[in-house]
Structure 1
């Protein structure tokens, strides 16, 4: 079984490990960064590509190397690549699976400090209107900073990012003080988030609705402990995907793979 895996997330690493332990499979994992590719290699991927691929290159690789299935395990907010991957699988008539981490279950969580918006531009506007004198912890990745900073001062902005060259260059371009950059090595615990809130005297946290694996609950509970606000950007809806092609855990993935092969 030859698997073309769109990765770069913790979910994708778990998928690699699971498949290698349970199937006779060759896995090629593509990520947009060298950091992501190193994690994929450590997870057991047989081959990796560490840069974004345009649609025609993905089609060429899948066709030339005769991959059997395309699995999309990119971030829930990477809507463009998810739309593209679904269209590629349809065009090539190969099996397709979208691994979609479950939406965060907030049923037993105090959400009184939570503000939900539809975009990072909207998040910036909320901060400008309601928290314009506040320090802001940005826990949503380097690629989303620019939209927030359309309305928020860089002097009040503290991003937690993977310190790779591309992310550092984005910070420099946006005039973010290097001393404001918080190195990221994975999802932070509640206690680590509390330490960051205290260290940077923050009144607001920005996060994506990236599921429990993305640390959303720990961010909300840390904010509740310090009585500050969390602005959460809700997931984009991707209408191009058939619901039957979506799995949300390894058990569901296993059942689909067994059906396919």
Structure 2
């Protein structure tokens, strides 16, 4: 098979698995984009030939694609990074380069069943729901630093707790939002149900917030912890990208393999 030059939009655990899989099974050059130096270092460690560690607007992506002879765009960004997915689709059409979206499966409803589950469409809505129904309780945020601001508009900061990655950009974000240092916990990868239970107890949280991040993002373990402690769980559902074609989506490495062999 010919050598494939791949432009990979990464920054997720999925993208790391894809890099490793491609390097083991295909002859590839991979340029991975991430929004942080931390994500870039993980991509290099996984085998990516090169990385770009900063957010890329449309004009920058087009410039990169124009200067290099890429055969394929693989979008393995987070399910909630809908803006970059839309941008990647647009760039692929402009440059006439095949596009594949790696979409982590949505958790089976059976695994996220909980009597105290509340589904909302945005973090702003989550904040409003908390303000209306849980304003006297402690809140535990398990959905990343970029989503905190929308919630704390409606939630007292002294009642707000968050688990974040121990990286400078995340710590600074919390500092800028004036989240008390004692209300911040650090994470290393996906937490087990037992670890989630321990943190919920430690923070005395009565409501937990998370994205619909699937099994890869540790959603079942979060739900399990809340069920065992009878804690309310607010789930932000995934955004819909109207320009995303179902035929361009793969949901496993096996499906990715089949798609690649179809294209090349």
Q: Give TM-score scaled by structure 1 length.
A: 0.98
CA distance in 2, matches of 1:83, 1:54: 11
Indicate yes or no: 2:177 matched with 1:174: yes
State the partner residue of 1:208: 211
Tell me how far apart the structure 2 counterparts of residues 257 and 109 of structure 1 sit (CA, whole Å). 32
Whether 1:100 aligns to 2:103 is yes
Q: Deviations over 1:214-242 (max 9, x none)?
A: 11110001000001011000000111011
State the partner residue of 1:260: 263
Q: How high is the TM-score relative to the length of structure 2?
A: 0.97
Q: Work out which of the residue numbers 33, 36, 39 in structure 2 matches 1:33.
A: 36
- The Cα shift of 1:81 comes to 0.1
* Partner SS state of residue 239, structure 2: coil
Pairing 1:24–2:27 present? yes
Q: Does the C-alpha gap of structure 1 residues 202 and 110 become closer, same or farther in structure 2, counting only changes over 3 Å?
A: same
1:158 aligns with 2:194: no
Q: Which residue of 2 aligns with 1:5?
A: 8
Please list the CA deviations of residues 69-96 of structure 1 after superposition, one character each: whole Å capped at 9, or x if unmatched.
0000000000000000000000000110
| Cα deviation code 1:47-102 (max 9, x no counterpart) | 11111111111111122111110000000000000000000000000110000111
Task: Say yes or no: does 1:121 pair with 2:131.
Answer: no
Query: Partners in 1 of 2:47 and 2:199 — Cα distance?
Result: 33
Q: What is the distance in 2 between the residues matched to 1:246 and 1:109?
A: 23
Aligned with 2:43: secondary structure? helix
Unmatched tracts of structure 2, length 5 or more: none
The structure 1 segments of at least 4 consecutive aligned residues displaced by more than 6 Å after TM superposition are: none
Q: Which runs of 5+ in 1 are unaligned?
A: none
Taking only aligned residues, the RMSD between alpha carbons, in angstroms, comes to: 0.9
CA distance in 1, matches of 2:166, 2:212: 22
Instruction: Indicate if the aligned counterparts of 2:111 and 2:220 stay in contact, CA closer than 8 A.
Output: no
